[in-house]
Structure formats: structure tokens, C-alpha cells
Homo-oligomer: A and B are copies of this chain.
Amino acid sequence: MTEIDRSEVAGLTPAQARARFRDGLVTPTAGWSRGWTQANLVVLPREEAYDFLVFAQRNPRACPVLEVFEPGAVSGALLDGDVRTDLPAYRVFRDGELVEEPTDVRSWWRDDLVSFLVGCSFTFEDALLVAGIDVRHQSEGVNVPMYRTSVRCRPAGALSGPLVVSMRPVPADRVADAVRVTSRYPGVHGAPVHVGDPGALGIEDLDRPDHGDAVTVRPGEVPVFWACGVTPQAAVVESRPTLALTHAPGHMLVTDGRDTDLLLA
């Protein structure tokens, strides 16, 4: 993200941000279009979509569904755009195998595909910053670190998989504040699922995340873990659907929804 002016991209409207990605820019989206909701994307054939919704219902922390498009639709209430072109990067899975990481999925599109927009913890990062809590991957200009844990999600039909978490280091005396701030956003993963002790989650080395980039954990800081929208992606891959399209980790859909709409009164 070194070539990107972070203060400039924070001020872009969602439509402006999506235009850049549609034009070919590939970058993690943390910090982009501040105040606008970013979403994980999972696209599945209609035949596999029911299991996905039940999986989401059973694992609401990891899989908070913000919107379900009609079968074949490329836009919806939260997106006045084209879900096939407007993300910086996608992943294409056939029978559970990653076959491509394109910047456009129009060639894969079918009329029976259902797009799920799933809440993303980037939404509450602005609230953390307002509370004076540094969001390390933003200040270090890298992608958020994500880890596959040894915790299993509740299965649903063909879908099962590990809980995937994102990690942000928080000073020990601000952990309670980080919990309070993020618990007000249940629609985007909400409160942390785990504080400290990566080993209890089966994470062997914080410096080697499964997705994204490692960040500095300073002395006096505690690693805090939130459920991550890559969780449904991992379950979808394990279930080996004939076709699945997703965002590339950290490369989210910038929607036309406002973060404040996800804030509890």
C-alpha cells in the first residue's frame, strides 16, 4: 500500500473507490472510504446457498450476513455497482480448489449464482481509532493478519470448517475499551472471541498468519482476536462446491452502506 495516499483513499466515496478497483488497482481495502461499510463476499450456486445461510445462522460471530442478492443479481440494496468487477481482487474455487485470483469474475458468472455480503471487522476499526486505539495493520500499511484456529464452527449441511480470526494488538490497559467499542457492532463480528494466549486457539506463531501480513506486537500489548469473515470462505472451500467466488482476503467490497447503520443504539 506504499504508493497509496492513505488520507486520500479514506475520503473517497464508495463509488470512487470501486471505480479505482474496477480500473485495475489491487490493494487491501483497510482504511478506504472511512465511514462506509466494507463486506466480505461469498458467491455460491443457488443449490448450495441454503446451507450457507444456515451456517451463518449457527455461526453469527464469524458470519454476520449483511445482504443476500437475488439469484443472478450483481447489485442490491447495499451495492449500486457490479459485484463482478468492483472488488480489488477475487478468488475462484472449483470443487474446493483455488483455480484463479482474478480482478474481474464476469467470465465466471452464471444466472444461478447468489452473492452474500458478510460483515467485516474493518467497519469497527474507525471506532477503535476514534477511541485512540492504534489499528496496527493500518499504521504499518499492511493487510490485517488472519489465522486459521483449532476451533471448529458449528456445521450446517455440507458446510463445516475452522474459525478464522483477525488479530489486532492492543495495549493491556485498553483491552476493555476495545471490547466495549467493538461489541457495539454485532453485525460486523462484534466483540473479540479471544484475548491473549494464541496457543489456546492453536496459533503457533503470530508472525506467520495464514492470510494477510504479520504486524508488530509491542511490549505491553496483548493480541486480541476477532472472528473473521474468511471463516465462511474456509467452510465453503472445505465443502467443495462446484463453484465458489469470493473476495481475496483483505480485499473487500466497499459498499454503499454506512457504518453507523451497523452501530447499536
Q: Does A49 contact B (CB under 8 A)?
A: yes
Give the complex CA separation of A67 and B67 in angstroms: 19
Please tell me how many copies of the chain the complex holds.
2
Describe A's contact surface by its main secondary structure. helix
- With a cutoff of 8 Å between Cβ atoms, the chain B residues found around residue A264 in the complex are 183, 186, 264
Q: Does A191 contact B (CB under 8 A)?
A: yes
Give the residue of B46, B53, B67, B183 whose beta carbon is less than 8 angstroms from that of A53: B53
Q: Does A13 contact B (CB under 8 A)?
A: no
- With a cutoff of 8 Å between Cβ atoms, the chain B residues found around residue A49 in the complex are 50
A52 (CB) vs chain B CBs: closest residue: B53
In which size bucket is the chain A interface?
10 to 19
Q: A191-B265, A264-B186 are in contact. Are A57 and B50 (CB under 8 A)?
A: no
- With a cutoff of 8 Å between Cβ atoms, the chain B residues found around residue A191 in the complex are 265
Give the complex CA separation of A107 and B229 in angstroms: 42
- With a cutoff of 8 Å between Cβ atoms, the chain B residues found around residue A15 in the complex are none
Give the complex CA separation of A15 and B68 in angstroms: 37
| A58 close to B50 (CB less than 8 A) | no
A residues 172-197 in Cβ contact with B at 8 Å: 179, 183, 186, 191
Q: Does A54 contact B (CB under 8 A)?
A: yes
Q: Does A65 contact B (CB under 8 A)?
A: yes
